[in-house]
Amino acid sequence: MRFSVLLAAFATSLLATSLTLTSPVRADSQGDLDHCKFVGEIGKADEGIAACDRVINDSKITARDRAAAFSSRCGWWWAKKDSDRALSDCNEAIRIDSGNADAFLNRGNAYLSKSDMEHALTDFNSALRVDPKNAWAYAERGNLYKNKGDIDHALADLNESIRLNPSYALALFSRGDLYKSLGDFARAMTDLNESIRLDPNYALAYFTRGRLSFMLGNNPAALEDFTKSIKLDAGDATAYFNRGVAYYVIGGRTPDAAADFKKAAELNPKDAYAALWRDLAERRNIAPSHLAEAVKQLDMTVWPAPVIRHFLGELNAEQTFGAAFDTDPKTKLAQTCEANFYSGEFALLKKDKKEAQRLLKLAANDCPQSFIEATAAIAELIPLK
């Protein structure tokens, strides 16, 4: 199962960096300006928008502060996933004050929420033109490059962001995640540890470090970080899913694994992998399967539907491997990896140890290192030796 750091999740937390309002304000407007300021916490969105409304409608406020209020309200609307309102407000902020770097950054993130990387990149460049020493802007642009696969530019921007602000937890997080994707696990762990030290309340950092610990075979550390991530963000289905996998492969924790997969499926009922792993955990725990029921909410026209049909007895192993073929080499590699792993797990359930060992060895050897199935296959092979 492939994992990527959600750009939106990163950007939401990244925008917690402070927005500086330097212009003189009337004393009775200062409180509204402070509450208007966008700090990226969704729970404060309604209060922030209301304060921004009052600032914007204050006829005595300076143009610069009005622009800052439009920029902040743009950020709040974006946090509430209303990209159209966000873009409208940021456009107005930039019209009033084209020297407001934060407005370009907020608008860039609004464009990203519409998958418009081209306009987002233009805005991040504009922010750096206005403020060449803006660590936030370098981090945003670096993260965009990272998600585009432009590793050299991504690393250069994230390095510059951290050089400008060595205590920038979210830039360290993003660089750590980049290092993890490159297989430089030592540097990744160093950056993630420092990011968490600087910001111990960032759920995604714990999740990512947990994934790294799991990849390195350190299940206790992975479980600890996934649990911390869930405490900070109880609505994150992927954290429950990953903790479930760690419980599953650690041995003797299949009831805990099944509970986590069930929760992940409840939070995201369209996740086929949560349904598959829940079925594995329930069967291993000699409990009733819920896979047939889960299928009703899954897209059975795309991968891993053939694996699910195999589990349901609708396809045999040969048919499943045939369905894994694809003309694109990367897609073929990914789907063959998963076919090997899940068919190996299915063979284990059928008490066919020899076939399970053969298939899991293929998964362990051939799956991309970033795939959760790669690490799980290695762990599952240990008791089969």
Q: Which amino acid is at 40?
A: G
Q: Quick one: pLDDT at residue 110?
A: 97
Q: How far is CA 285 from the centre of its chain?
A: 30
Mean pLDDT per block of 10 residues along the chain (385 residues) reads 44 45 50 91 92 95 96 97 97 98 98 97 98 98 97 99 98 98 97 98 97 95 98 97 96 94 98 98 95 98 98 96 97 98 97 97 96 96 90
Residue count (the chain): 385
Q: Quick one: pLDDT at residue 21?
A: 39
C-alpha–C-alpha distance, residues 111 and 113, integer Å: 5
- Residues ≥6 apart with Cβ < 8 Å to 133: 164
Residue 82, class by beta-carbon neighbours within 10 Å (0-12 exposed, 13-18 middle, 19+ buried)?
middle
Q: Quick one: pLDDT at residue 254?
A: 95
Q: Quick one: pLDDT at residue 385?
A: 81
Q: What would be the CATH architecture of the domain defined by 1-131?
A: Alpha Horseshoe (1.25)
Is the preceding omega at residue 383 within 30 degrees of 0, hence cis?
A: no
Which H or E element spans position 31? helix 30-36
**Which of 116, 120, 125 lies closest to 106, judged by CA?**
120
Kindly report the pTM of this predicted structure.
0.87
Token pair 């390195």 is found at 216
Q: Quick one: pLDDT at residue 20?
A: 40
CB atoms near residue 336 (< 10 Å): 18
- Candidates 3.40.50.800, 2.40.50.140, 1.10.260.40, 1.25.40.10; correct CATH number of 209-298? 1.25.40.10
DSSP state of 243: H
Q: What six digits make up the tokens of 205?
A: 């950092």
203 three-class SS: helix
Q: What six digits make up the tokens of 161?
A: 């962001």
